[in-house]
Structure 1
């Protein structure tokens, strides 16, 4: 680990032993300090991280993505932190290009590279649930050809000044999984800072390879997706999608039972259950046996 690096990479991992080597080798080539936050993995995640020279923080339980990153950033000492998924690997020069862009654009609160998906497509989300300040035509996709401001930057790989991350409170600790990056992007924008897509920086994202295929994984993921969407909508004063999500997916679950396809049933049942849990006042972190933070539903 490079102790004097201006950048510390924070990698939150859960059963990510298979995906980690490519990520950590790429980060090591970039010369950055590396902190792997192991969310109580049952595989060799911690051992793999240690073997690659990373500082490893072993959580006693799965703290979720946002809380895991907050823990990692709190342990960093560098000026910048790079939030990166275990299944994402920066190309040579990627991190240096992000830091250089931060120097060019001093009003940038968050910067992200050009993220390439496994099929070669460029990931660029032209709108977000929480980005009314940048409304792009819904039927027209214009991909960036250079640096530009964006309504949303993916948490798969992003660079922030550690001081800015701390000043904004980091990730919302009440979100266990999903939409935590939308929420942070909104707070960056509301603080008067820009979200900048840096085109000369490139990272490769092996989407979906960061965690093992545990039983019930689809139900759990869809539960959190539905709950988190409802949570951030309520937090930012938007119309709640939870009633519609619960009703539509409840009906789809009943129909899916006749297909006898477990994955399909889990997908719809998980979405319905997550939305219903939110409507009943349930907390995502409580479901995961964690203590909820002070209620932020009415905060911004």
Structure 2
């Protein structure tokens, strides 16, 4: 009898891949090295690199791993939602394919979930290879003023909370979508991710809906997770940037009170897409150097 037929695991780890590169193997290996009772659902958005298939072959005797293949790139949120329909854990850990999570970090996140009855979503501080925290680990709602301050690098009151990254548990408006732990009941109550986002800003949307639902969004400042910048983003920067800006526009229309003002909404729309166009020359130069 396989593990998937036995007692349901404590945790369902969900990883979405899309030509994520060799880091996906390291991510999967790190998760499966943990001693927590878990299952790993790796859902692949039509990768062409063959790595998800290679992982499935190498781990075919490990009943904790299930690889799900999509025949097209569904986007991040829709892929997570599809995997969640097959998950059996009491909590979901949504993990980027370039993150390395160890047992101590995982146990700390689970301990917080157990000890905070109103916790709806818990994030961690994601760091680069030098251990430098990503400012996007600790964020606020991207309302108009904050979003424009961040987009145009004006400093001040941007989306990311400035100053020292906390080293303890704090309440947040939003956390990085690279590492998100949620009780299954909360995810199901919210119907998971809004599938009208393709890539980017769906995590901000989910954090907002968690808070609107009466739960808390928490950042475990004492949990640090190594996070590389995604392989698919490096190979398709314009594609990723387009969907990031599209996500910004959707979040604005859903949640920002300024969207009710037609003139302001028009200015925001122009600002978002002007910023997208201005990024393209630099992205093309980077591609040419690869």
Q: 1-side partners of 2:144 and 2:55: how far apart?
A: 36
Distance 1:253 1:45, change over 3 A: closer
State whether residues 130 and 183 of structure 1, in contact with CA within 8 Å, keep that contact through their aligned partners in structure 2.
Answer: no
Distance 1:69 1:130, change over 3 A: farther
For residues 245-265 of structure 1, give each alpha carbon's deviation from its aligned partner in whole angstroms, at most 9, with x where no partner exists.
Answer: 334555x479x5xx9x83379
Structure 1 unpaired stretches of 5+: 267-300
Q: Which aligned segments of 4 or more residues in structure 1 are displaced greater than 6 angstroms?
A: none
2:112 corresponds to 1:112 = no
The TM-score normalised by the length of structure 1 is: 0.76
2:230 corresponds to 1:208 = yes
For residues 179-201 of structure 1, give each alpha carbon's deviation from its aligned partner in whole angstroms, at most 9, with x where no partner exists.
Answer: 00000000001111111112343
Q: 2-side partners of 1:46 and 1:68: how far apart?
A: 15
Q: 1-side partners of 2:225 and 2:234: how far apart?
A: 24
| Superposition map of 1:60-209 within 5 A | 60-123=71-134, 124-129=137-142, 138=157, 140-209=162-231
Aligned to 1:42: 48
Offset, 1:48: 3.0
Structure 2 unpaired stretches of 5+: 146-155, 260-264
2:230 corresponds to 1:219 = no
For residues 5-40 of structure 1, give each alpha carbon's deviation from its aligned partner in whole angstroms, at most 9, with x where no partner exists.
Answer: 200110000112411111111101113210000111
2:18 corresponds to 1:14 = yes
Secondary structure (helix, strand or coil) at the match of 1:122 reads coil
The TM-score normalised by the length of structure 2 is: 0.79
2:39 corresponds to 1:26 = no
Q: 2-side partners of 1:253 and 1:117: how far apart?
A: 23
Considering fraction of residues, name the structure with more helix: 2
Secondary structure (helix, strand or coil) at the match of 2:247 reads helix
What RMSD over aligned residues (CA atoms) do the two structures have, in Å? Answer: 2.7
